[in-house]
Chain A
Amino acid sequence: MNAHRYNKQSKLSFSFSMLYLTIIFLFIPLFVVVFFSFNSSKGMQWNHASLIWYKTLIFESPSLWAAFKNSLIIALTSSVTATFLGTLAAIGIKWYRFKGRSYITTISYLPMVLPEVIIGISMLIFFSAVKVRLGMFTIFAAHTTFNLPFVFMMVSARLDEFDYSTVEAARDLGANESQTLTKVIIPTIIPGVLSGFLMCITMSLEDFVITFFVSGPGSGTLPLYVYSMIRYGVSPVINALTFVMILGTMVIAFTFRKFLKTVAASS
């Protein structure tokens, strides 16, 4: 019996040491990059601490900021569209039986599970077949497409906890369909809708592969810009950008977590 307990202890410490090593493994590359973003010289030889690369990043990289602006425009427009379409569809599929329902359900999971290269290539070939010029619109369409499944999934999950009798109650009390939607359904599922929306924003800002295929001249997003920098010479400006991006995502994540909690608490 004692031997068993002892063994269990050592088992625990094996898995925990694996976990800690894994966390170190996950963070080391990021720490290295952030550390060298404060290096005054270009290489991996530590010279002395300096903020020169942050200065270059903020004041002398207009094309980077132009790419970032494109990224923001795409992220916002595609996330709003995906959230709108995905939320409505989740409601319809959850509660109503209609023709085409199983087609829509199946098709809404597929873009999530296929490799990104496939989505990118198929859209590129599609756009050139129907002669749509590659640019902001094609990126917007592609991003909305890969964002939609996630909104649909998250809102559906939220609807699973929703008590349909409240909808019936609202109808019995004389609410029409749009009143039921805006005053009963939406307020209840808003945490699911918002977390879907946030996920879209993150994925849209982060996507490289699909954007790479459907972007045209002048419509490059931030990841595309980073790609061209990595491909044609390493620049410490990317190190500085990494730190800014990590800080940015963490600040946004924390603010929205709080925000989501208050929303969830109030509804």
Chain B
Amino acid sequence: MKKVLKPREREQLLGTVYAFPMGIWFTLFFTIPLGIIVLYSFLKRGLYGGVEWQFTFDAYAQMFNPSFAKVVVRTLWISIVSTLGCILIAIPCGYAMAKSKYQTFLLFLIIIPFWTNSLIRIYAWISILSTEGFVNTILIKLGILTEGVQLIYNNGAVVLVLIYMYLPFAILPLFTTIDKFDFALLDAARDLGATKLESIVKVMFPNIKSGLSTAFIFTFIPIFGAYTVPLLVGGKDSTMIGNIIVDQVSKTRNWPLASAFSMVLTFISLVGVFWMLYTGKREQQQSKKTTQQSLEQNVRKHHLPRGGK
């Protein structure tokens, strides 16, 4: 006879059957590997790669070694400059797209280059910027230069290519939030005497906070963990944390140090993600109020004498 399950047991059983295959997969190929990295970051370095089972903070202490500390500082400034670059370009782009009639087409244009393999996009920049590259060839033809100038293998090239690679990550979330923004609020602000810039900064920005934080995180995290871009278009002084991690694993074979640096990347990424989720949630809670406020503002707009401050 078939056993009849209570609703509670039934839920437990069905949930388990549906969700556990994925849960097991992630535990095996994500949680455990990440756990191993956490563990290894506290162990002693093995002589020929691997680790020795001895608890120590050596790996973390090594990170303060000046040559590594320099890389951490560099990674920070390169990431911040590139992320800000992405966002400053993305805000007007998202604004224009939200106002445009051809949204689908514009979205498509932004996404196409993004579909192209990332290595190929880096390669494209190499062929544009290198000594015998496109830019130099044109400048020489025009008589501006007599011989090729090295435009690549420096930090400037790294920032440029990083912005190029991650720009769509900033444009897409900003476009989505600006698209939901009530543009009548800008008119209201202007009618109440705000300047163009003031109305954008004081009225629009607070309303697109979640888009801004998503754009920031979606660009900052991958840029902070960048590996290929500094490797392929950077010079000797463009190494970033991602490159250290790889070098420590494959060349120097210092697994604890690689793990410790991985912990730093993981930690910063998680802080960023929680911050993003937090701003998103707060905005959701406030959204009811904002609609109300916008209604009020709209009403007020029509009752206030024009031009009155």
- Give A residues with C-beta under 8 Å from B: 1, 4, 7-8, 11-12, 14-16, 18-19, 22-23, 25-30, 32-33, 36, 43-45, 85-86, 88-89, 91-93, 95-101, 103-104, 107-108, 110-111, 113-119, 121-126, 129, 141-142, 144-145, 148, 152, 177, 202, 205-206, 208-209, 222-223, 226-227, 230-231, 234, 238-239, 241-242, 245-246, 249-250, 253
Contacts and interface: CB of A to CB of B under 8 A. Distances in A.
Interface string B12-31: 11111111111101110111
B18 A116 contact: no
Interface string B105-120: 0100110110111111
A107 B115 CA distance: 27
Given A206-B118, A249-B116, A18 B93 contact: yes
A91 to B, nearest CB: 5
A71 to B, nearest CB: 10
B174 to A, nearest CB: 12
B36 interface: yes
Interface in B154-189: 164, 167-168, 171
A107 B31 contact: yes
Contact of A230 (B26, B119, B167): B119
B133 interface: yes
Given A44-B132, A125-B255, A253-B115, A104 B14 contact: no
Contact of A250 (B112, B125, B246): B112
Contacts of A43: 132, 137
Query: Which 5 pairs across A and B sit closest by C-beta, in order of nearness?
Result: A115-B225, A92-B18, A98-B15, A96-B15, A29-B124
Interface in B18-70: 18-23, 25-27, 29-34, 36-37, 40
B242 interface: yes
Interface residues of B, number: 88
A250 B127 CA distance: 23
Nearest to B190: A4
A118 B166 CA distance: 18
Contacts of A222: 117
Given A29-B125, A115-B222, A125-B259, A107 B228 contact: no
B128 A32 contact: yes
Interface string B130-141: 001110110000
